[in-house]
């Protein structure tokens, strides 16, 4: 029920904002995003972080459309709980960060920001594929409105491109989900879009060829969102045009919907195809890492640079996912959090700079450390975190992603179906991708060197202007009329206040990532075991229709037989079809035997 | 004869009401003339009640290709007819009303009533006649009946288009619509004649029996097949599908917005009812997998569907007029619905009997959704008028006229936004839940390419629906633009109410209240043919390729592993899920 509250509170406040006077919108939005934070903290304290994958809140699902099998079911496991945490945290930061940046149409702005918050939380909490899709698609609407109303010059085109790209991808994804649901319905006699049912149906009943198609359809939807290399062109445009809060949410959470979808849908639903196409996805990711990195290097617009760096960074994330090792998955999931924190903070910082100078061009800015020492400190800090400086959060996740990729060969070396499939990733992939880290360091440090250090360069005529309005640090920055003129040269306490929690988390996750790693260990290991189990498709026995879906084999089940002794296509024909779980469980423990 | 008449109480009610409004509408007293709308509304509500079987529930003793369509199809016509009715006041005879002065404008004194110049009576009667024809379509069990019902649906609309405004463009639209409509009618009548020639009967059940016999004897004869193909091509006029779609934008633009809303729903529904009945008569037990319509009809529908979706959507992108956008989008929506027709009702039994798998249920469901969403968009257009300097009024036309509507007139603005987002298929609105069964039924029938094309087309449609939604919500009106005259709200507030009902429906039906609608849709798609007909040919085939297991046909044999009793999983489906040809068990 608490998950429903996390979604409902922002929605209720969004309605409140719509009905209130513009002057109250800011306050209502702040409360509407801070309340979920408090609620989340309470929930997180009671959450069984170390219990692993099992969904925690056993809320009863409500039938939304019975004849279509659509149910309103929400639940959270460790992974979704972490990502919900990121979403909930970025909410108030975006709202408070927009106090001075947004001055007109406040109701629309804060109202849609709250709706966006609810929709994003819903994506991570949904346990019904259609409900997931509903939330997934509905994030487009507030984002479209935020970009096209509050963006800069080219905002209409950027918003439309953003909408159409994602919409196209996800409609095809829906076709893939519909296919799985149909297969599931023919087997069980009941239409359901329940995630567990779909995962069972897809991973167990689909042939390799079907999986390949479904994989393609699902990946198209999620790859646009991530975005992976050839489909990334909407992102820099959307980022550049979006208002600061839009960029923060886009980079912080919306891109994660793609990688979360890969983790929650693509890998468990199409394990065979994922293994077969892992090299392809990895190559695309690596191209993205290097290509986007090189583009970053030649950018002069700071925001565009950070936008492209998202493309590059999320390449690592996808690489970690498709290493299909526990370490890689852990790294990738952690990367989603870390990227949200550090890139979100970078966009905030760029927004603060833009509010003061009204330019983001590196040609017009330089040596700002002299003018804004606090800002510069945060800038350097978050750039370091983004680059992956050991001791800060980026390092741990990037290392884990690469490590997982490196070890993928060992993990899957004894896999019987390996020969016929594309096969796992390996050291070569990791080695090439690691170059991306260097490129990443190059462009980010180059940017810092130019903007933060060096001789002071300010837009023409700005220096005197800023000096003339230099206030004491405590001056209220939210003066309604011409707030830009009243901003002090350096950061205000409000701005520092929203950056501090992010910085604290970056340090925490960099110095002591163990609790999070520990919490992610269970789900990722379970995922890898399930992947091993379901990439031995020939061991599966078809189920009679009407029989309940087979229980998910527990990974602690004792090994019945050593599957290596049973050739894949010689499964004993006289084994009754009603006992498929034993084959599955045997296959599951094979991974332990193989180690 | 008596039993047949008993199923016609809804139509009889409408007929009586139509006669009543013909008299009432000629009254010299304005307040009596104004009774036309309540009379029509009451008649429609009673007809809805009667078509649902009155207090006794839905009567399912009717036979025919789609027995339940007669009940729920008529009920749908009744309900959406009421919403369409709310748009009607003010379309004709404005000069005899006192109201036309908008807020802030002195009411002009009405002209003296002249019965000879008045159109109120005819207009309302034709409105009811057309809906009556549509109801008759839903209950048709004979080709002659079907033809007469289709014509009864269409003939009044030609007049309604022509008299809907006093301008020449309505006249032009009416003439264009009439001639092309006559051409379409000729084509499908010719098709009906060929069907009669090929099967020896006009009764749909007898036609079906003959087709089954022909198919068993080696193949359906080419005359019958040509008849069905021609009938469907002729019906493309009614549903505004590709070879016969050219009239749509011109006629919608020429007609007044309330009439355009009527055209977008009523003839389209009639056409789809007819196509559903005809294809259900043929049955989906042909093709390589035994789950398709007979080859020529399947190919024809496939090509029509793809072209209709694509042409409609691509041309809609190029438009600036709201009504033309909605017209082209209406073409595209017909294409979407044809996917459900191609997919068919599934093999029968088990999971196939739900809305998710049954393409015919999906088509009916989508018709309802489309009807509800579309009225909203047209209602906004009908509720806004451009007042010219000389005091005359005209409808708004360009998308630019919608700018800033959410700020200036929130109700109308948000109605437009919700309707456009709903038509776009944006979750969680009604359009999405309408499209979902089309997706799942298409996938279930194995037409993956078609479903992908449907998906891509939905995305193309996003482009122009976003324009319709963004103009009122995100853009602001430039005062310098009001050259052609100021935009005011229509004095006929019922139109705004119709828009509101539609907008509320788009949200509420999607979020929780759609359950009964889904159940109704599920039963609409069930075949009423005797068990010996439906699915017989499918059952004759090898168990491995029976419909339910059709998706495994071209896969690696991995899934099909002999079980202990030697049967493959496909056969198990058949025995466990009930025979695929089990007659639909009508739940009351």
**Residue B82 predicted with pLDDT over 90:** yes
B440 vs A181, A207, A576: nearest CB: A181
Between CA A561 and CA A585 the distance in angstroms is 9
Nearest Cα residue in chain A from B349: A189
Between CA B415 and CA B2 the distance in angstroms is 45
Cβ(B55)–Cβ(B346) below 8 Å: no
Same domain, B328 and B419: yes
Q: Scanning the structure block, which residue is given the tokens 């005259």?
A: B485
Secondary structure of B547-567 in HEC code, one letter for each residue: HHHHHHCCCCHHHCCCCCCCC
Mean pLDDT within A316-329: 89
Between CA A112 and CA A159 the distance in angstroms is 15
Chain A CB contacts of B421 under 8 Å are 141
Chain A CB contacts of B561 under 8 Å are 541-542, 571, 573
Same domain, B485 and B578: no
Is B184 within the bounds of a domain? yes
Cβ contact (<8 Å) for B459 and A209? no
Q: Can you give the pLDDT at residue B310?
A: 93
User: Which of the pair, B266 or A474, is modelled with greater confidence?
Assistant: B266
Cβ contact (<8 Å) for A544 and B572? yes
Same domain, B562 and B454: no
| A289 shares contact with chain B (CB less than 8 Å) | no
Which one of B524, B553, B575 terminates a domain? Answer: B524
Same domain, B76 and B151: yes
Is B425 within the bounds of a domain? yes
From the number of C-beta atoms within 10 Å of its C-beta (0-12, 13-18, 19+), residue B584 rates as buried
Chain A CB contacts of B521 under 8 Å are 67
pLDDT band at B218 (very low <50, low <70, confident <90, very high): confident
Q: What percent of chain A has pLDDT over 90?
A: 18
Closest by CA to B293, choosing from B585, B571, B65, B552, is B65
Q: At what angle do helices B257-282 and B359-383 cross, to 10 degrees?
A: 170
User: Which of the pair, A419 or A499, is modelled with greater confidence?
Assistant: A499
Same domain, B459 and B570: no
Q: What is the domain extent for residue B581?
A: 537-588
Same domain, B179 and B202: yes
Closest by CA to A110, choosing from A18, A220, A185, A187, is A18
**Residue B549 predicted with pLDDT over 60:** no
- State the nearest Cα–Cα gap between A66 and chain B, in angstroms: 6
Which one of B524, B547, B565 terminates a domain? Answer: B524
- State the nearest Cα–Cα gap between B356 and chain A, in angstroms: 5
**pLDDT, tens digit (0-9, with 9 covering 90-100), for A239-283:** 888 888 889 999 889 999 999 999 999 988 888 888 888 888 888
- State yes or no: ipTM above 0.85: no
Between CA A55 and CA A65 the distance in angstroms is 23
Cβ contact (<8 Å) for A571 and B451? no
Cβ contact (<8 Å) for B440 and A171? no
Give strand pairing partners of B394: B386
B564 vs A148, A178, A576: nearest CB: A576
User: Which of the pair, B103 or B171, is modelled with greater confidence?
Assistant: B171
* Residue of A8, A19, A63, A65 best to disrupt the B interface, most CBs of B under 10 A: A65
Q: Which pairing describes strands B393-395 and A70-72: parallel, antiparallel, or unpaired?
A: unpaired
| A428 shares contact with chain B (CB less than 8 Å) | no
pLDDT band at A586 (very low <50, low <70, confident <90, very high): very low
Same domain, B178 and B265: yes
Same domain, B124 and B253: yes
- State the nearest Cα–Cα gap between A297 and chain B, in angstroms: 34
Q: Can you give the pLDDT at residue B58?
A: 61
**Residue B128 predicted with pLDDT over 60:** yes
Q: Can you give the pLDDT at residue B560?
A: 38
pLDDT band at B97 (very low <50, low <70, confident <90, very high): low
Alpha helices in B486-568 (DSSP H): 493-508, 515-524, 536-540
Does the bond joining A160 to the residue before it have cis omega, within 30 degrees of 0?
Answer: no
CB neighbours of A200 closer than 8 A, spacing ≥ 6?
Answer: A184, A549, A550, A552
Cβ contact (<8 Å) for A545 and B573? yes
- State the nearest Cα–Cα gap between A205 and chain B, in angstroms: 7
Mean pLDDT within B55-60: 60
| A43 shares contact with chain B (CB less than 8 Å) | no
Cβ contact (<8 Å) for A207 and B556? yes
* Residue of A133, A542, A544, A583 best to disrupt the B interface, most CBs of B under 10 A: A542
Same domain, B499 and B574: no
Closest by CA to A126, choosing from A87, A76, A171, A57, is A76
Same domain, B104 and B154: yes
Between CA A324 and CA A532 the distance in angstroms is 9
Cβ contact (<8 Å) for B436 and A178? yes
Q: Can you give the pLDDT at residue B356?
A: 79
- State the nearest Cα–Cα gap between A169 and chain B, in angstroms: 9
pLDDT band at B588 (very low <50, low <70, confident <90, very high): very low
Count of domains observed in chain B? 2
Alpha helices in A102-154 (DSSP H): 106-125, 129-138, 140-150
- State the nearest Cα–Cα gap between B463 and chain A, in angstroms: 7
Between CA B506 and CA B512 the distance in angstroms is 11
Cβ contact (<8 Å) for B466 and A163? yes
Is B240 within the bounds of a domain? yes
Same domain, B425 and B541: no
**pLDDT, tens digit (0-9, with 9 covering 90-100), for A444-502:** 888 888 888 888 887 766 654 444 444 433 434 433 334 455 677 788 888 888 899 99
Asked which of B11-20, B127-136, B379-388 is least confident by mean pLDDT, the reply is B379-388
Residues in chain A: 595
Between CA B486 and CA B404 the distance in angstroms is 14
**pLDDT, tens digit (0-9, with 9 covering 90-100), for B308-350:** 999 999 999 998 899 999 999 999 999 999 999 998 887 644 4
Taking all residues of chain B, what is their mean pLDDT, rounded to a whole number? 81
**pLDDT, tens digit (0-9, with 9 covering 90-100), for A533-575:** 877 644 343 433 344 444 444 443 333 334 444 344 444 444 4
Chain A CB contacts of B336 under 8 Å are none
What three-state secondary structure class fits A320? Answer: helix
- State the nearest Cα–Cα gap between B372 and chain A, in angstroms: 18
Cβ contact (<8 Å) for B427 and A138? yes
Between CA A582 and CA A575 the distance in angstroms is 10
Q: Which of residues 74-133 of A touch B (CB under 8 A)?
A: 130, 133
**Residue A577 predicted with pLDDT over 50:** no
Cβ contact (<8 Å) for A210 and B437? no
**The model scores a pTM over 0.90:** no
Residue B489: which H helix or E strand, with range?
A: strand B486-489
- State the nearest Cα–Cα gap between B313 and chain A, in angstroms: 14
Nearest Cα residue in chain B from A536: B558
| A592 shares contact with chain B (CB less than 8 Å) | no
Cβ count near B46 (within 10 Å): 18
**Residue B131 predicted with pLDDT over 90:** yes
Closest by CA to B37, choosing from B118, B124, B128, B127, is B124
Same domain, B559 and B432: no
Asked which of A220-224, A334-338, B53-57, B501-505 is least confident by mean pLDDT, the reply is B53-57
Taking all residues of chain A, what is their mean pLDDT, rounded to a whole number? 80
Between CA A335 and CA A393 the distance in angstroms is 9
Between CA A156 and CA A494 the distance in angstroms is 31
| A-B contacts at Cβ under 8 angstroms | 162
Asked which of A58-72, A325-339, A389-403, B149-163 is least confident by mean pLDDT, the reply is A58-72
A458 phi/psi in degrees, rounded to 5: -125, 155
| A157 shares contact with chain B (CB less than 8 Å) | no
């Amino acid at each position: 029920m608490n998950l429903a509250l996390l979604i409902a509170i922002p929605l209720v406040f969004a309605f409140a904002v719509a009905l209130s006077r513009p002057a109250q919108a800011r306050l209502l939005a702040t409360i509407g995003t801070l309340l979920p934070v408090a609620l989340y903290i309470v929930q997180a304290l009671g959450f069984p972080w170390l219990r692993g994958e099992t969904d925690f809140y056993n809320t009863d699902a409500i039938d939304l459309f019975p004849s279509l099998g659509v149910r309103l079911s929400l639940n959270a496991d460790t992974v979704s709980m972490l990502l919900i945490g990121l979403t909930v945290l970025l909410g108030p930061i975006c709202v408070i960060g927009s106090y001075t940046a947004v001055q007109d149409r406040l109701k629309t702005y804060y109202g849609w920001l709250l709706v966006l918050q609810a929709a994003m939380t819903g994506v991570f909490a949904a346990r019904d594929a259609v409900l997931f899709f509903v939330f997934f698609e509905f994030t487009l609407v507030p984002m479209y409105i935020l970009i096209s109303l509050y963006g800069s010059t080219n905002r209409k085109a950027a918003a439309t491109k953003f909408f159409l790209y994602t919409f196209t991808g996800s409609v095809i994804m829906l076709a893939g989900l519909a296919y799985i649901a149909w297969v599931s319905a023919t087997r069980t006699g009941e239409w359901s879009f329940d995630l567990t049912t779909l995962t069972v149906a897809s991973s167990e009943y689909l042939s390799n060829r079907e999986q390949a198609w479904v994989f393609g359809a699902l990946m198209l939807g999620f790859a646009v969102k991530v975005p992976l290399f050839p489909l990334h062109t909407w992102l820099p445009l959307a980022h550049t045009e979006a208002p600061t809060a839009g960029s923060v949410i886009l980079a912080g959470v919306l891109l994660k919907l793609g990688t979360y979808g890969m983790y929650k849908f693509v890998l468990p639903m199409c394990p065979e195809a994922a293994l077969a196409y892992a090299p392809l996805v990895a190559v695309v990711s690596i191209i993205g890492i290097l290509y986007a990195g090189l583009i970053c290097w030649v950018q002069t617009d700071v925001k565009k640079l950070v936008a492209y760096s998202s493309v590059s960074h999320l390449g690592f994330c996808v690489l970690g996912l498709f290493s299909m090792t526990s370490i890689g998955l852990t790294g990738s999931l952690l990367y989603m959090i870390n990227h949200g924190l550090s890139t979100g903070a970078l966009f905030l910082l760029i927004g603060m700079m833009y509010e003061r100078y009204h330019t983001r061009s590196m040609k017009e800015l330089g040596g700002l450390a002299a003018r804004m020492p606090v800002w510069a400190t945060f800038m350097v800090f978050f750039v370091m975190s983004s680059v992956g400086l050991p001791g800060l959060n980026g390092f741990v996740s990037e290392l884990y992603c690469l490590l997982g990729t490196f070890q993928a060969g060992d993990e899957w070396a004894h896999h019987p179906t390996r020969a016929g499939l594309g096969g796992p990733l390996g050291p070569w992939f990791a080695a090439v991708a690691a170059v991306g880290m260097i490129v990443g360091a190059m462009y980010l440090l180059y940017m810092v060197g130019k903007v933060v250090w060096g001789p002071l360069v300010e837009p023409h005529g700005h220096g005197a202007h800023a000096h003339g309005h230099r206030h004491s640090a405590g001056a209220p920055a939210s003066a309604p009329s011409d707030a830009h003129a009243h901003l002090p040269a350096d950061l205000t306490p409000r701005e520092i206040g929203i950056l501090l929690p992010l910085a604290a988390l970056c340090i925490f996750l960099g110095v002591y990532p163990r609790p999070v790693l520990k919490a992610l260990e269970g789900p990722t290991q379970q995922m890898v075991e399930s992947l091993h189990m379901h990439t031995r498709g020939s061991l599966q026995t078809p189920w009679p229709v009407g029989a309940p879906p087979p229980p998910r084999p527990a990974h602690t089940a004792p090994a019945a037989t050593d599957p290596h002794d049973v050739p894949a296509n010689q499964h004993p024909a006289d084994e009754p079809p009603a006992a498929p779980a034993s084959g599955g469980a045997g296959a599951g423990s094979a991974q332990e035997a193989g180690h | 004869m008596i039993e047949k008449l008993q199923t016609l109480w809804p139509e009889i009610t409408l007929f009586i009401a139509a006669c009543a409004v013909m008299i009432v509408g000629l009254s010299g007293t304005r307040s009596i003339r104004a009774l036309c709308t309540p009379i029509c509304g009451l008649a429609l509500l009673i007809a809805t009640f009667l078509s649902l079987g009155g207090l006794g529930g839905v009567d399912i003793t009717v036979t025919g290709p789609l027995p339940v369509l007669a009940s729920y199809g008529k009920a749908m016509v009744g309900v959406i007819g009421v919403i369409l009715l709310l748009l009607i006041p003010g379309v004709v005879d404005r000069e005899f009303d006192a109201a036309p002065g908008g807020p802030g404008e002195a009411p002009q004194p009405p002209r003296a009533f002249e019965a000879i110049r008045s159109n109120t009576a005819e207009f309302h009667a034709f409105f009811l006649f057309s809906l009556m024809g549509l109801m008759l379509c839903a209950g048709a069990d004979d080709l002659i009946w079907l033809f007469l019902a289709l014509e009864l649906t269409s003939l009044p609309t030609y007049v309604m288009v022509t008299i809907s405004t006093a301008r020449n463009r309505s006249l032009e639209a009416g003439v264009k619509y009439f001639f092309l409509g006559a051409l379409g009618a000729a084509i499908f009548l010719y098709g009906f004649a060929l069907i009669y020639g090929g099967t020896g009967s006009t009764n749909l059940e007898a036609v079906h029996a003959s087709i089954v016999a022909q198919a068993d004897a080696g193949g359906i004869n080419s005359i019958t097949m040509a008849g069905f193909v021609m009938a469907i091509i002729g019906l493309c006029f009614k549903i505004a599908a590709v070879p016969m779609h050219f009239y749509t934008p011109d006629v919608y633009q020429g007609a007044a917005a309330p009439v355009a809303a009527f055209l977008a729903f009523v003839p389209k529904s009639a056409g789809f009812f007819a196509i559903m009945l005809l294809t259900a008569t043929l049955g989906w037990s042909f093709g390589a997998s035994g789950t398709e319509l007979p080859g020529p009809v399947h190919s024809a529908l496939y090509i029509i569907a793809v072209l209709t979706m694509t042409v409609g959507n691509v041309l809609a992108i190029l438009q600036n007029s709201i009504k033309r956008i909605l017209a082209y989008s209406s073409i595209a929506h017909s294409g979407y619905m044809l996917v459900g027709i191609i997919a068919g009702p599934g093999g029968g039994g088990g999971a196939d009997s739900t809305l998710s798998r049954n393409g015919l249920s999906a088509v009916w469901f989508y018709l309802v959704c489309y009807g509800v969403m579309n009225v909203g968009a047209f209602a906004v257009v009908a509720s806004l008028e451009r007042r010219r300097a000389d005091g005359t009024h005209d409808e708004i036309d360009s998308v630019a006229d919608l700018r800033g509507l959410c700020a200036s007139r929130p109700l109308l603005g948000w109605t437009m936004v919700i309707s456009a987002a709903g038509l776009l298929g944006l979750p969680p609105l009604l359009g999405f839940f309408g499209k979902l069964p089309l997706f799942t039924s298409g996938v279930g029938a194995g037409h993956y390419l078609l479903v992908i094309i449907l998906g891509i087309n939905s995305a193309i449609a996003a482009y122009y629906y976003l324009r319709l939604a963004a103009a009122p919500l995100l853009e602001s009106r430039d005062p310098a633009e009001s050259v052609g005259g100021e935009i005011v709200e229509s004095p006929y507030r019922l139109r705004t109410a119709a828009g509101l009902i539609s907008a509320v429906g788009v949200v509420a039906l999607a979020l929780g209240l759609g359950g009964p609608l889904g159940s109704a849709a599920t039963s609409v798609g069930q075949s009423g043919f005797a068990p010996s007909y439906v699915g017989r040919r499918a059952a004759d085939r090898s168990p491995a390729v029976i419909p339910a297991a059709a998706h495994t046909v071209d896969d690696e044999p991995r899934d099909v592993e002999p079980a202990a009793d030697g049967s493959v999983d496909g056969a198990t489906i058949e025995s466990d899920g009930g025979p695929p040809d089990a007659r639909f068990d009508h739940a009351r």
